[in-house]
Structure 1
Amino acid sequence: MTFILTAFFFSLVEDLNSKVQIQGIVGELKGDFDTFYQKMKKERGNIEIKKSNGHHDRYIIIDRKNVYMTGSSLNRLGNKPSLIIPIENKRIKESILNYFDETWQGNSGEN
């Protein structure tokens, strides 16, 4: 499972099987987000977050098969009306997956 997101996703992944690999790309790793990340990394394992500037959109990628785009920051879900849109178009989906891969590989540092 792969996320390009902001802080909220930790509450979504707490109950996932620890064998599920989680990768995230964020603009900043600070405050509560960093605290939760360090806790999840220690207690759950199989989670890695990298920092990268230059993206705005938020995607959820599951098993490289299902790709979703969210209409707002994930930390706002449930508080305000929002959208989670499945990406069905094969070319767009491949473009998002390539973008994630390039961003992930281009950013060697982990926090």
Structure 2
Amino acid sequence: MLYFLLGENRDCIAVDAKEWLAWYKNTESENCDVAEDFLLDREVRISTMFTGLSWEVSPKEPPKPFLTIVFVGYGIDEQYRYSTWDQALIGHKKTVAKLKSDFGLQ
């Protein structure tokens, strides 16, 4: 697993596990929120955030410390990971648009 902090320009800074844990304990969650949307009277929640964790450890794969989760009811329906804040925001918007289309909510 790889660990990252979120820099001032929303860039990812590689750190060790101890430094990440200290940062995580002292960071306000809203500082890591990329976007959040609700559909169908809040039954569906789409949340995109910086987690600072990446399971991609292959040199062929870039780290992906951003995560979009689609919650339906009380469960997780879909998850997507991204390398940058901008990719995460674009991915979030695409996920919301796809779900709106799937649910006939245009």
**TM value normalised by structure 1:** 0.28
Q: Which has the larger radius of gyration?
A: 2
Structure 1 or 2: larger helix share? 1
Select the structure with the greater relative contact order (CA < 8 A; seq sep ≥ 6): 1
**TM value normalised by structure 2:** 0.29
